Structure 1
Amino acid sequence: MDISKANFGILDGQEVIAFTLVNDSGMSVTCLNYGCIITKILVPDRYGKMENVVLGFDSVEEYLQHSPYFGAVVGRVAGRIKGASFELDGESFQLTANEHGNHIHGGIKGFSHVIWEAADFQEDGEIGIVLTYQSPDGEEGFPGELNVKVTYVLTNDNELRISYEAQSDQKTIVNLTNHSYFNLCGDLKEDILNHQLTMNSQAILELDEQLLPTGQVLDVEGTAFDFRESRLLKDGTFSTHPQNVLVGNGYDHPFVWNEQEERVITLVDPESGRSLRVETDQPSVVVYTSNQLEGDFHIAGVQARKYLGVCLETQGYPDAIHHSHFPSIVLEKGERYRSTTTYYFLAQ
């Protein structure tokens, strides 16, 4: 196993460092101390060919100009917060409004656009990076000084484990996720519409016209949202279900689990033989098929376009602070937020 570092650029006078973790079978994960961004994950196909299975850029400038959160840790709160405001114990907090009057993914900078402190480590059968950030009281409008730690661990079983911890000196709200766009074809040779997705979720959260949860929970039975048996992602692009049409013909929805359901997601690309198994302790996952990914730019030489990647954003329910029947994302003073999501890469 090996860890290497390389200069990835300079941002506001600070060095952006790319850390590359390599296990004994040659799988590698590259991440930055900027935004905790995962830029590359190299895994073998069924013939042993190593290729990148996430969307990412080769320079800091491209991330600044074009990235829709490629590979980044987003927070303090992932997803949208209605009206860019919320109340805690009768006190109102006004957040940065960075999307149609709402707050999304932590604000203009959030956690995805700052330099984190980073340190690498190696233990028996594991290597990793620990990234820490101290978010000051009032940053993007959130109360409390929040100390955050994100740990990336690579094992010899081709397993990438992402652990999150956070603690605040005031009552606040926290909901963290990683926003990687996966494409198991490798090196963006094809889009993800022929990927097969399976997960034991019986319900999604209904979205309104601003893509905010309405508070209603919809049963997936008989719809293109039913992934309890393996289903092609392209099914969502052809579906006439109002929720598929609403998000640009595809998926951009929180799938939710009850406490008894196994929180496992499996993504398979039959062509390459690659598969990804995701296990999480979070109550929901936002599945986003990059329906809005368009623009006059390239990603590793490939023109940006819809359906080039799929995000599997494990997290608490979006906008939970405005829906009392959703699992709470309130973090009490001194309490420790913890969450872990593990990604297993296989070749079949």
Structure 2
Amino acid sequence: MRTALYFTTLAAALALPAAAHATDASRAPFGTLKDGTPVEAITLTNSHHMRVRVISYGATLQAVEVPDRKGRIADVALGYSSIGDYLDHPNYFGVSVGRFANRIRLGRFSIDGNSYQLATNNTVNALHGGVQGFDKRLWKVVEVASGPTAHVTLSYVSPDGEEGYPGTLTVTATYSLDETNNLTVEYKATTDKPTIVNLTNHALWNLAGEGSGKSVDSQVLTIPADSYNPVDAGWIPTGEFRSVAGTPFDFRKPMAIGARLRDSRDPQIAVGRGYDHNYVVARTVSPNQHLLSRLVDPASGRVLTITSNQPGVQVYTGNFLDGTVSGKGHTLYRQGDGIALEPQIFPDTPNRPEFGSARLDPGQTYRNVMTFSFSVAR
């Protein structure tokens, strides 16, 4: 266990140079793409020793460092320490996914009688925007600012027809850090012709620390959802809104993630190889943020509360991490070493009218805003 490298004491954090503002933003190189194009890293910090790093490749949340109840700092976001690993071993760690996060059945949908075939990259289905989704694009750094709230805004223009999607889509991602340890991520998009959009961040969290060697099974999850969307063998929703009552999917009261997982006989757990399902917190996108989930690590005391304006949260328990992927500090990530809690509209919504609409028209602005609030339970 690499304890000496993994923990940074509060005393060491206090020795860092004082920021000119309460929250500070700085830029630095983060290597180059294989064609030599530079990638940037933007670091946001506040006076409570929280530090967030975003890289321009994939508009990716590369690191989130927060203190525990004893003031020890750990990085709680799975990821890589070099651009080479992001290029050679793509795993969606902290990336911005789009145009459509999650799955679309057979990669097909229709708008106004026009049928579209998307790139398929998850057996016969489309996943997270396709073979070269937004997670594998270099975003432009538009603005970096310190102040009461430090932030970085990145942009990407997806041309008409990219990965099969109609319309030129102009997207921005803004990461903001304030003095109360709130990290807010806001995605916006506009289009020049009718299309579909579902953007989110695919951070995988481990509140014990991404290099701790501990799984998330003992971390306690709460989700205020009465139902979830069961899936078929291809992880495509069946269209049902199934009650969580009496099932391993019931997190309406705080429950350890692994308490009903590893020995569960629920067929939905089997098909997903764990949790890989959308929880229905609301039925439509709302103008304001509401609670989607709360995650607590009893051992460290770290707490992560997630709010968003989105109706669903995809819960994914790192089911396909198999101990062959080496993250930061050369730690091997295993099944269950991280959990994704992704604010979104529901998977396969373009083919499921009962799920609502994923449509975006010219003159409209798509918006997904999510806040990751970090605190400590004493």
Is TM more than 0.5 here? yes
Choose the corresponding residue for 1:135, options 133, 150, 158: 158
- 2:306 partner amino acid: V
The CA distance in 2 between the partners of 1:47 and 1:64, in whole Å, is 36
Choose the corresponding residue for 1:119, options 131, 134, 142: 142
- 1:19 partner amino acid: I
Choose the corresponding residue for 1:85, options 108, 111, 127: 108
Which residue does 1:274 correspond to in 2? 302
| 1:326 correspondence with 2:355 | yes
Secondary structure in 1 aligned to 2:131?
coil
Which residue does 1:7 correspond to in 2? 29
- 1:10 partner amino acid: T
Which residue does 1:247 correspond to in 2? 272
Which residue does 1:265 correspond to in 2? 293
Q: 1:86–1:93: 8 Å Cα contact kept in structure 2?
A: yes
Deviations 1:198-219 (A, max 9, x none): 1210000010000001111110
1:39 Cα offset (Å)? 0.9
| 1:38 correspondence with 2:61 | yes
- 1:27 partner amino acid: M
Q: 1:188–1:308: 8 Å Cα contact kept in structure 2?
A: no
Q: TM-score with structure 2 length normalisation?
A: 0.89
> Which stretches in structure 2 are left out of the alignment for 5+ residues?
1-22
- 1:150 partner amino acid: A
Which stretch of structure 1 is more off in the superposition, 43-52 or 330-339? 330-339
The CA distance in 1 between the partners of 2:84 and 2:146, in whole Å, is 34
Which residue does 2:98 correspond to in 1? 75
- Aligned ranges for residues 98-247 of structure 1 at < 5 Å? 98-122=121-145, 124-189=147-212, 190-234=214-258, 235-247=260-272
The CA distance in 2 between the partners of 1:264 and 1:247, in whole Å, is 21
Report the RMSD for the aligned CA atoms in angstroms: 1.4
Deviations 1:4-57 (A, max 9, x none): 222111113311111111111110000101001111100000000111000010
Q: TM-score with structure 1 length normalisation?
A: 0.97
The CA distance in 2 between the partners of 1:88 and 1:221, in whole Å, is 36
Q: How many residue pairs end up in the alignment?
A: 347
- 1:285 partner amino acid: V
Q: 1:3–1:120: 8 Å Cα contact kept in structure 2?
A: no
Secondary structure in 2 aligned to 1:216?
coil
Secondary structure in 1 aligned to 2:134?
coil
- 1:313 partner amino acid: E
> Which stretches in structure 1 are left out of the alignment for 5+ residues?
none
The CA distance in 2 between the partners of 1:315 and 1:265, in whole Å, is 13
The CA distance in 1 between the partners of 2:283 and 2:98, in whole Å, is 24
Secondary structure in 2 aligned to 1:238?
coil
Higher strand share: 1
